[in-house]
Amino acid sequence: MAKFYERIEPAQAAFIRQQHIFFTGSAAASGRVNISPRGIDAFRILDPNTVAYLDETGSGNETAAHLLASGRLTIMMCGFEHAPTILRLYGQGRSLPRGTPDYQSLLATAYGNQEPPGARQIICLHVDSVQTSCGYGVPLFDYREDRPTLRRWADNKGEAGVAAYRSEKNVRSIDGFETGVAASTPPSA
């Protein structure tokens, strides 16, 4: 049976910290709905109603575009290894583009000023509600390891190469919406 909460409770925070992957779901009023997988190493619980994740440059930037268009964001985690649980965080999100004062501040406080190669933004979610459900239909999987491919790609491209890639692939969504990420995101200070 699904249950709703107004904030992330301590037991839910513990569940979140056990995960290796989370999924983001976002949409504008029109166009495609986007669902993306993310590695949990980038995820932070800032307080019971605020979470963030450090987003790396990828083939698209749908979440940022949808946040500009509607602000709606859902983050979902599934218990693949332990308790059969699904946890969803619903709320309003925003993108903090790399190099902006808000990005720099959160990078310092939540990430110890450490950013992976190819970092492009931090996505913040103000959590309006938390939903948990049974997850009995979620299969059991054993975690092996994170893939090094995306960070190796960014390392090989270098700062200028990643900025050029963002200019080509990350400024607009696949539906043509602005993402709010500058074509050439400045390096962090």
Q: What is the pLDDT of residues 59-115, one digit of tens each?
A: 999 999 999 999 999 999 999 998 899 999 999 999 999 999 999 999 999 999 999
Residues 6+ away with beta carbon under 8 Å from 103:
96, 97, 121, 122, 188
Report if residue 58 sits inside a domain: yes
180 neighbors 97 (Cβ within 8 angstroms): yes
Tell me which residue has tokens 């504008």. 28
Report if residue 177 sits inside a domain: no
The pLDDT value recorded for residue 183 is 53
Report if residue 128 sits inside a domain: yes
The dihedral of CA 44, 45, 47, 49: what is its sign? positive
Instruction: Write the DSSP assignment of 82-120 as a string of letters.
Output: SS--EEEEEEEEEEEETTSHHHHHHHHHHHTT---TTEE
Tell me which residue has tokens 């500009």. 68
Report if residue 183 sits inside a domain: no
Q: pLDDT tens for residues 148-181?
A: 999 999 999 999 999 999 999 999 999 999 999 7
The dihedral of CA 154, 157, 158, 160: what is its sign? negative
Range of the domain at 162: 3-135+145-169
Report if residue 186 sits inside a domain: no
Average pLDDT score over the chain: 93
pLDDT at 45 over 60: yes
Number of domains in the chain: 1
Instruction: Write the DSSP assignment of 29-90 as a string of letters.
Output: SSS-EEEEEEEGGGEEEEETTEEEEEEEP-S--HHHHHHHHT-EEEEEEE-SSSS--EEEEE
Q: pLDDT tens for residues 111-152?
A: 999 999 999 999 999 999 999 999 999 999 999 999 999 999
The pLDDT value recorded for residue 17 is 95
Report if residue 185 sits inside a domain: no
Q: Span 28-53, mean pLDDT? A: 96
Written as six digits, the tokens of 113 are 């000023």
The pLDDT value recorded for residue 98 is 94
Report if residue 126 sits inside a domain: yes
Q: What's the CATH number where 73 sits?
A: 2.30.110.10
Rounded distance between C-alpha atoms, residue 166 and residue 186, angstroms: 11
